[in-house]
Amino acid sequence: MDTRATRLQRQAALRSKYEAAAQGILEAISSEPKKFFSPADLANLGVHLLPFDPLSEEFIQSRKCLFQPLSTDFLAEFFIEDSELMDSDRKALQLLEPASPPDDLSSLLHAAREIFLLLETTYSHLKRKKPKAYLFELVDWEFIACDDDFHEANGFYPYKNHLGIPLWSYLDMMQHCTTKRGKTIIRPHLQLVMGNDAVVKESGLLMGELGPIVQGILARINQPCFKNTSLIPVQIFSFFGPLDGRILQARFYPSGQLVIRASGIYHFTSENQEYLASLFLRYRFSEPRVGDGYEFDVFDVAEESPAGFPDSGEKNPLGSLVLRPASTSSTGKENVAL
């Protein structure tokens, strides 16, 4: 069994390895930016991209999942009280093809913000009768305020006006905070909501997804309050055109490789928005997974390669995972009532 001293030494060594790897990735994508990073591009950067099914209980119960989603049974207790909605809320909940965007936004980035507004309006109004409470009152994810040292550690990945690179925008950033014996405990887990001025139809990552992931991890490494951990997971809710989104989970492995898991691409419509709102909500209000088993004792991701992305030239698996479940499905009805 490791002593505390050897454990801290091991964590410090891993943190140094991850910091060097993150800096290398950021330098590489800054010197040679791409509109879209294919699995081959990512492999050259030391990044392993894998698909994951956010509805798979096998995945949720495994050490691959670092953000344990809320259960559907728990969500089934919550509903939206129509009498509490303002006209602006009702408009946000009626997700149709977005209207003409303001002059300072493209249609694709505007669509991403429309999805975000739909989800935030849903999340802020869900409540239950017994015991009486709003959902957001029962979870511990908080907005990262301007005075948080995450910003001093350069947690933002800034957009640079590279010709042909889609614009990205931070729509929200959150960290998990609890209080124990009067002391605030902040987990290293990071959640980001990104809007991207792009349409994603294939496997791979946008620069507005990869950059914020790596920059966020690097910032966490440099925050003094996380000096005693090497486990820094990032979850991204990425929204883009035409009205699409997906979930990404990322972390460094002890090998020094950055592993990013991507869900399928979900297309939001007025027919399936209840289902998708509940799915994204489950992960938005997830419980961070912690412990030595997640930090050190991880499996070899190479074992997943046969079920992962195919070689160049074959059909993209993530492209075939675009899901458009109807709101009349039993899953959608079970998850949330709007």
Residue 196 confidence (pLDDT): 94
- Strands 244-252 and 258-262 turn out to be antiparallel
How many H-runs (helices) and E-runs (strands) does the chain carry? 11, 15
Q: Give the residue-averaged pLDDT of 31-47.
A: 94
Torsion, CA 138, CA 156, CA 17, CA 189, rounded to 10: 0
* Res 286: pLDDT: 95
pLDDT value of position 62: 92
- Taking the C-alpha atoms of residue 287 and residue 189, their distance in angstroms, rounded to an integer, is 10
In angstroms, the CA 238 to CA 249 distance is: 11
DSSP string over 1-57? ---HHHHHHHHHHHHHHHHHHHHHHHHHHHHS--SEE-HHHHHHTTEEEEE--TT-H
- Displacement of CA 191 from its chain's centroid (Å): 6
Q: What is the pLDDT of residue 56?
A: 94
d(CA 232, CA 222): 11
Q: What value does the mean pLDDT take over residues 313-333? A: 33
Domain with 89 in it: 4-335
- Work out the average pLDDT over 286-306: 76
Give the C-alpha distances (Å, rounded to integers) separating 132 from 14, 47, 209, 277.
Answer: 45, 45, 38, 22
Number of domains in the chain: 1
Tokens of 149: 């040292």
List C-alpha distances in Å: 336 to 146, 186, 324, 327: 33, 29, 17, 10
**DSSP for residue 83:** G
pLDDT score of 34 more than 50: yes
Q: What is the pLDDT at residue 323?
A: 32
Q: What is the pLDDT of residue 302?
A: 60
Phi-psi region of 186 (alpha: psi -120 to 50; beta: other; left: phi over 0): beta
pLDDT, tens digit, for every residue of 175-201? 999 888 888 889 999 999 999 999 887
Alpha-carbon distance 57 to 67, whole Å? 13
The residue to which tokens 């809710």 are assigned: 237
Euclidean distance between CA atoms 27 and 47, whole angstroms? 14
DSSP code, position 142: E
Q: Are 21 and 214 in contact (CB under 8 A)?
A: no
In this structure, what DSSP letter does residue 321 have?
Answer: G
Q: What is the pLDDT of residues 244-291, one digit of tens each?
A: 999 999 999 999 999 999 999 999 887 888 899 999 999 999 999 998
- What pLDDT, on the 0 to 100 scale, is given for residue 219? 97
Of 25 and 312, the structure prediction assigns the larger pLDDT to: 25
Amino acid code (one letter) for 216? G
Residues 146-162: tens digit of each pLDDT: 999 999 999 999 998 77
Does the structure show a pLDDT above 60 at 336? no
